Amino acid sequence: MHPFDDALRLTPTAEDRYAGRTTAPYGNMVGPFGGITNALMLHAAMLHPARLGDPIALTVNFAAPVADGEFEIVARPARTNRSTQHWQLETLQQGQVITTATAVFAERRVTWTDTEATMPAGLPPPQALPRMSAQNLPPWFRCYDMRVAAGGLTETLGSGHTDSLSQIWVRDEPPRPLDFASLAAICDVFAPRVYLRLGRLLPAGTVSITTYFHAGESQLREQGDRHLLGVARGLGFRNGFFDQVAEIWGQDGQLLATSTQIVYFRA
Amino acid sequence: MHPFDDALRLTPTAEDRYAGRTTAPYGNMVGPFGGITNALMLHAAMLHPARLGDPIALTVNFAAPVADGEFEIVARPARTNRSTQHWQLETLQQGQVITTATAVFAERRVTWTDTEATMPAGLPPPQALPRMSAQNLPPWFRCYDMRVAAGGLTETLGSGHTDSLSQIWVRDEPPRPLDFASLAAICDVFAPRVYLRLGRLLPAGTVSITTYFHAGESQLREQGDRHLLGVARGLGFRNGFFDQVAEIWGQDGQLLATSTQIVYFRA
């Protein structure tokens, strides 16, 4: 079993309730990698017998640190319409709320389609770049093959940079066919932008992340297990919080997801 | 009383529960303007006796059309930490969930601060531009003084445009000192980007909107009742949904809020 699927293993315990546990490969400095939490919230709704359609939007709020060990996810369809469905979710540990989330699912129809955002052109392909070393980094980095085309953290440490733009090729390691859950996790692989701006590591953590899924299931399937291009940058840093936006592109030029998060920091 | 404050009037009815009603000035084609719903969810948390600090993040999901008339907002602090607080909210009509929301509040500390996004330069000031006509438009348009610096809807109707960028000066009408709630409403004044792209009006509506508040209370107070600059554009349009991002700038160059929404459309 792929470590990602193992981390996503949820056991139904009652109506709307799932039991899960953190796994070592997706460990972060403290508790699990935020991206796996993002994926788990989505996965609980995906698994639910009342689920309608595919994910459109997901917001996950990190209310408290997730402790290593068992957790319970409550996933409730708050409203089901003809072609859309709204979810309220939360993760509990020891009866306390650790994360809250909302999600929107929908049955999509073919309509006029256009990508207005521009995929960065002229980047070296992933095969031409070295894999980022995970040495001295928390375990979850070894779950991704990341190749920095621009804006790597390592190069800015010690110096800082005037902007926080990163362009990074990323796929699951070992390779795994892309699906909604793995895409949700990938939206959170980008280092806090404040590290790049200030050129040093400092206390920082995602407070809330919102992901919009532009791709449907068949478009994800077309990606297979190839690298995706992630583009991340910060917009505003002020008084303890900053935001960072991310776009996830397929190598075929499809905009698969856009994501934004607000991050706590101390500097 | 300013019509915005009247629209925001909520009466506590029980612990975590508030009664409100839609008001005519903020009416849309059907039900109320989405921005007023965005503001109301935030306002319910702001009013709550357990509220800690200022808003940082707000996600509001439009699960069903809001009918004109009375509604109930349930606002629950799901988790209160030392300096952050997480909220779960919903609006009910006739016992049915109409909107769901989450919010994060925090006590902010002074830290390193930088605005990496760039405020558009060289735009004509609001005084040099005509006020957008609200003729033939739903009532809520008369609650805003909007002046189009670039990317107005009127100019693109009938022709469409290759991009959906708008730069619009906006303030409450009549003028009202800016606060978190009015900023939340302003984040939703931008027409669905698909109208600009295709050059026609078509069925479209916000499904979920996320707003990050970069400014604290004193920065909002500094804005007074002057026009703010809103910059909006779409990134990806596909199979019934598109996203649009917005930045709200003060005339003094402060980035006050960033917002993103996913919008249903039929075309």
Neighbours of A58 (CB within 10 A): 29
Residues in chain B with CB shorter than 8 Å from the CB of A198 are 112
Mean pLDDT of B53-65: 98
The alpha helices in chain B, defined as continuous H runs, are 3-7, 34-47, 153-156, 180-186, 193-198, 217-223
Measured in residues, chain A has a length of 267
Decide: A189 and A167 in contact? Cβ < 8 Å: no
- Please tell me the distance from the alpha carbon of residue A237 to that of residue A263, in angstroms, as a whole number: 9
Contact B90 A88 (CB under 8 A): yes
Decide: B168 and B190 in contact? Cβ < 8 Å: yes
pLDDT for B20 equals 98
- DSSP label at residue A135: T
pLDDT at A156 exceeding the cut of 90: no
Q: Which residue of B has its CA nearest to A114?
A: B237
pLDDT at A83 exceeding the cut of 90: yes
pTM of the model as a whole: 0.98
Decide: B9 and B15 in contact? Cβ < 8 Å: no
Contact B111 A239 (CB under 8 A): yes
Element (H, E) at B90: strand B84-93
- Please tell me the distance from the alpha carbon of residue B186 to that of residue B171, in angstroms, as a whole number: 8
Tell me how far CA of residue A157 lies from CA of A22, B116, B214, in angstroms: 30, 18, 26
pLDDT at B88 exceeding the cut of 90: yes
Contact B96 A112 (CB under 8 A): no
Residue A154 pLDDT level (bands cut at 50, 70, 90): confident
Closest residue to B64, CB basis, from A81, A104, A235: A81
Mean pLDDT of A114-127: 97
Residues in chain A with CB shorter than 8 Å from the CB of B64 are 79, 81
Peptide bond into B126 cis (omega under 30): no
Contact B260 A110 (CB under 8 A): no
> Chain A within 8 Å of B93 (Cβ-Cβ)?
no
> Chain B within 8 Å of A260 (Cβ-Cβ)?
yes
Selected for mutation to probe chain A from B104, B116, B197 (highest A CB count within 10 Å) is B116
Residue A148 pLDDT level (bands cut at 50, 70, 90): very high
Task: Read off the pLDDT of residues A123-135 as tens digits, 9 standing for 90 and up.
Answer: 999 999 999 999 9
- Please tell me the distance from the alpha carbon of residue B60 to that of residue B42, in angstroms, as a whole number: 9
Mean pLDDT of B129-141: 95
> Chain A within 8 Å of B198 (Cβ-Cβ)?
yes
Residue found under tokens 């939007």: A57
Contact B255 A235 (CB under 8 A): yes
pLDDT at B254 exceeding the cut of 90: yes
Task: Read off the pLDDT of residues B14-44 as tens digits, 9 standing for 90 and up.
Answer: 999 999 999 999 999 989 999 999 999 999 9
Residues in chain B with CB shorter than 8 Å from the CB of A113 are 237-239
φ and ψ of B119, to 5 deg: -70, 135
- B113, B119, B131, B127: which is closest to B229 by C-alpha? B119
pLDDT for B248 equals 98
Task: Read off the pLDDT of residues A180-231 as tens digits, 9 standing for 90 and up.
Answer: 999 999 999 999 999 999 999 999 999 999 999 999 999 999 999 999 999 9
Mean pLDDT of B209-216: 98
Mean pLDDT of B129-151: 96
Element (H, E) at B74: strand B70-80
- B212, B235, B228: which is closest to B175 by C-alpha? B228
pLDDT for A217 equals 96
Share of chain A above pLDDT 70, in %: 100
Contact A63 B56 (CB under 8 A): no
pLDDT for A155 equals 85
Among left, alpha and beta (phi > 0; psi -120 to 50; other), residue B16 is: left
Q: Are strands B114-115 and B84-93 parallel, antiparallel or unpaired?
A: unpaired
Contact A258 B243 (CB under 8 A): yes
Residue pairs between chains A and B whose CB atoms are closer than 8 Å = 217
pLDDT for B154 equals 86
pLDDT for B156 equals 87
> Chain B within 8 Å of A94 (Cβ-Cβ)?
no
* Sign, Cα dihedral of A191, A197, A201, A205: negative
Query: In the structure encoding, which two tokens stand for residue B206, read together?
Result: 């916000």
Mean pLDDT of B129-140: 94
Selected for mutation to probe chain A from B59, B98, B119, B196 (highest A CB count within 10 Å) is B59
- Please tell me the distance from the alpha carbon of residue B34 to that of residue B46, in angstroms, as a whole number: 19
> Chain A within 8 Å of B79 (Cβ-Cβ)?
yes
pLDDT at B155 exceeding the cut of 90: no
Rounded to a whole number of angstroms, the distance from the CA of B127 to the nearest CA of chain A is: 27
Mean pLDDT of B252-266: 97
Query: Dihedral (C-alpha) B171, B175, B177, B178: value to the nearest 10 degrees?
Result: -20
Query: In the structure encoding, which two tokens stand for residue A1, read together?
Result: 């079993």
pLDDT for A194 equals 97
Measured in residues, chain B has a length of 267
Contact B113 A239 (CB under 8 A): yes
Selected for mutation to probe chain B from A207, A219, A238, A252 (highest B CB count within 10 Å) is A238
- A94, A12, A21, A70: which is closest to A46 by C-alpha? A12
Mean pLDDT of A149-162: 91
* Sign, Cα dihedral of A185, A191, A194, A200: positive
- Please tell me the distance from the alpha carbon of residue B105 to that of residue B42, in angstroms, as a whole number: 10
Mean pLDDT of A11-24: 98
Share of chain A above pLDDT 90, in %: 95
